[in-house]
Structure formats: C-alpha cells, structure tokens
Amino acid sequence: MADTLTDEPVSLTGELRVVDDVAAAFRTLVTTTRFPSIALSGGSTAEACYRALADAPELEWRSVVVLFGDERFVPVEHEDSNEGMARRVLLDRIETGAIHSAAVGATPRAAAAAYDRLVRALGPVGLVHLGLGEDGHTASLFPGSPALEVADRMVVATGDDRHPHRRITFTYPAIAASPLVVFTVAGAEKRAAFAGVRRGDRSLPAARIRAERVVWLVDHDAAGP
C-alpha cells in the first residue's frame, strides 16, 4: 500500500491520526475509552499528555490500575523518575486504583523480575501509552538491545550508554498482549524516526510494536509534509 502523500510504501501498523495538538487528542481518546488498567510512559510528550488529562473533569479512574511501561531505576523522588513525573502532573491530583511502582527492588534485575510477575498476574494491560524517541526507541526498548529479542518475559531490566539510568521496560510480548496501544509523537525532531517507522524500518524498535489495536497520535511537525 503506497502512502498517498509520498508514494512511499507504508507499513505503519495501526491507525494514524495527524493532529494539531497531541496532548488534546490523547485526552479525548483516553476520556472516551474504558480500560481496567493503563501503562504510562515517560518523557516530555507524555508529561504534556498527563497534564491535559489532569484537567479533564470527565476522567473517571477510580478503578483503573496504573502501571509504568518503562521506568528508570531511580527513586520516585528523582527528577528522572517516570512515576515521579506522572504523580506530579496527574496521579496525585486524581483518584485511581492501585498504582504499581516499577523501580522497586535491590537491583534493576530484581525489580524487573518482580514487575514481570506482577504484569503476568494482572494480565493484559488495557491501554499502553508509548512515546517515540529520536532514535526510534519506545518504552525503554532501545535500538540493538537484547531486550528486543525477549519472547519469554513481560518485563526486563535493560539500558545502554546512550540513555540515562538502568531501566525496567515492558517487552514486545507485554505490549502485544494489550488491546490498545497509543503512541503520542510531537515535534519536528521526531520526523525522521516517525518516517522510518512508517517505512517499516525494523532497526527502529517502535516499528516492531504490534498489538490488537495501535493508534498513532502524531502532530504535523512530526508527521512531515
């Protein structure tokens, strides 16, 4: 199937929605969807999305279980903690179901093993929110990482010398089990990575994400002409 805009072969998995405001589009999608659990993401785009959600009076999350699709192995109080960000801008301002921290354990491997047990016990996460890095990573699935080939675990410890901190991350099987994955991508700096994902460049971890339903919320700067 060729892309009507560029005549390049398109193999983007899922639905592409090019929008003016990714955070507003995320808020609309999330507040009109019901899910028993959600895996939150990290980064500045996710932060903008969660700020938009915090102001949504219609948000009813009293029974929603909250997890983290990836986390830095730092205390929640650390400025780089994904959970710390989500609590500051959203979770501490609303009522939710259980919030399951990911960076809990003596070592990243111990924390990942514990989270793997939890994710297996909880079953498929109702909505997994993902971002896109400029290098095509998503969650903490980094290019060339052994974590990309893990098929028998839902959560692993990972990291590389290009991204800060050791990480805990969902694996492809954990994400693929979800009924709904929502990517949010904003900014011209993501254009090359998103174009690569659209081409199906499998060297980009985000291009290999599969799930029952994948929705891409991408702004005009990231989507390109």
What's the rounded Cα separation, in Å, for the pair 37 and 178?
10
Which span sits near ligand 6PG by CB under 6 A: 55-63, 111-119, 126-134, 148-156? Answer: 126-134
Residue 44 contacts ligand 6PG per CB under 6 A: yes
Minimum distance, C-beta of residue 192 to ligand 6PG, in the bound complex (Å): 13
Closer CB to ligand 6PG, 13 or 41, in the complex:
41
Name every residue whose Cβ is closer than 8 Å to that of residue 132 and which is 6 or more positions away in sequence.
138, 183, 185, 190, 193, 194, 197, 206, 222
Helices marked H in the chain — which ranges? 22-31, 44-54, 82-89, 108-122, 172-176, 191-199, 220-223
Residue 45 contacts ligand 6PG per CB under 6 A: yes
Which span sits near ligand 6PG by CB under 6 A: 11-19, 41-49, 87-95, 152-160? Answer: 41-49
CB 139 within 8 A of CB 41: yes
Residue span 140-169 as binding mask against ligand 6PG, x where in contact by CB under 6 A, dash where not: x-----------------------------
Residue 139 contacts ligand 6PG per CB under 6 A: yes
Q: How many CB atoms lie within 10 A of CB 78?
A: 13
- What order do you get walking across the sheet with 181-185 strand by strand? 15-19, 214-219, 181-185, 127-130, 37-40, 65-68
Positive or negative: CA dihedral 28, 136, 200, 196: positive
Residue 112 contacts ligand 6PG per CB under 6 A: no
Residue 133 contacts ligand 6PG per CB under 6 A: yes
Give the number of residues in contact with ligand 6PG, rule: CB under 6 A. 15
Among 122, 66, 126, 111, smallest CA distance to 92 is for 66
Residue 42 contacts ligand 6PG per CB under 6 A: yes
Please identify which residue in 70, 83, 116, 219 interacts with ligand 6PG, judged by CB under 6 A. Answer: 70
Name every residue whose Cβ is closer than 8 Å to that of residue 133 and which is 6 or more positions away in sequence.
43, 142, 193, 206
Closer CB to ligand 6PG, 120 or 162, in the complex:
162
Please identify which residue in 108, 131, 159, 196 interacts with ligand 6PG, judged by CB under 6 A. Answer: 131
Closer CB to ligand 6PG, 12 or 206, in the complex:
206
Chain residues in the site for ligand 6PG (CB under 6 A): 41-46, 70, 82, 131-133, 137-140
